[in-house]
Amino acid sequence: MTTEEVPLFPLSQGLFPEGFLSLMVFEVRYLHLMKRCQHEGLEFGVVPLAAGSEVQKAGEIEQLHGWGCMARIVQVESLQPAVLAVKCIGTQRFRLDEHARGAFGLWHGQITVQAHDLDCPIKEDLQPLANRLGELIATAQQQGIEDRLPMAPPYRLDDCGWVANRWGDILPIPSDEKATLLSESDCEARLRRIQKWFEE
């Protein structure tokens, strides 16, 4: 695990490793950040919001959860002079150790990057979660909308971490639960937390 300082992008939805995230960027603080990351090949941290809104409001200071995921820009499209469509992919989970709000309201944080997930075969009682995800992918393929999925091949439907992360990206679960999932280093335990949401 390594420690470093990175710019942060708080979001209500969160991001997981190998998942895709589409952003519509128009705030000054994030326009500068996206352009800098694109030109310098830098990554930034996506952190689930604990309180506050994604768009900066006068007199309001966002509160961030303690876990997030690094994001790497894969595509930037300029829609208007001050509006960017940005597509990112999640890389590694991190623990947010310290954070502060800087110029233009942009957050920076001291993070500890977590190790990549180890391969973890799916146990029989968790197989329905992989099957359901496989059905979702197959349906998107049949409808010709596979490129709209927040994921890309190879589809590792036999791996606990990959399946758990994909459901973490897809499911409309609260931000505090997404932060808890990001904090879980045991891939099987992460997928079992996902299973509880389906049971409820």
pLDDT tens-digit series, residues 29-57: 889 899 899 989 999 999 999 887 766 66
Q: Which residues contact 16 (CB under 8 A, 6 or more apart)?
A: 69, 90, 93, 165, 166, 168, 169, 181, 182
Per the DSSP assignment, residues forming a β-bridge with 24 are 85
**Residue 44 confidence (pLDDT):** 96
Domain with CATH 1.10.4060.10 in the chain: 124-199
Cα–Cα distance between 87 and 65 in angstroms, integer? 23
* Entry pTM: 0.91
Query: CA separation (Å) from 15 to 45, 58, 157, 177?
Result: 9, 26, 19, 12
Closest CA to 187 of 129, 108, 105: 129
d(CA 119, CA 109): 29
**How far is 180 from 193, CA to CA, in rounded Å?**
9
CA 132, 172, 115, 88 torsion: positive or negative? positive
Burial class from Cβ neighbours inside 10 Å (0-12, 13-18, 19+) for residue 194 reads buried
The contacts of residue 200 (CB under 8 Å, 6+ apart) are none
The number of angstroms, rounded, from the C-alpha of 125 to the middle of its chain's C-alpha atoms is 26
Across the range 66-74, mean pLDDT stands at: 96
Class of domain 2-113: mainly beta
Domain with CATH 2.30.130.40 in the chain: 2-113
* 99-108, 141-150, 189-198: segment of lowest average pLDDT: 99-108
CATH number of 124-199: 1.10.4060.10
Nearest to 7 by CA among 75, 88, 71: 71
**139-182 pLDDT tens trace:** 999 999 999 999 999 999 999 999 999 999 999 999 999 999 99
Work out the number of other CB atoms within 10 angstroms of the CB of residue 159.
19
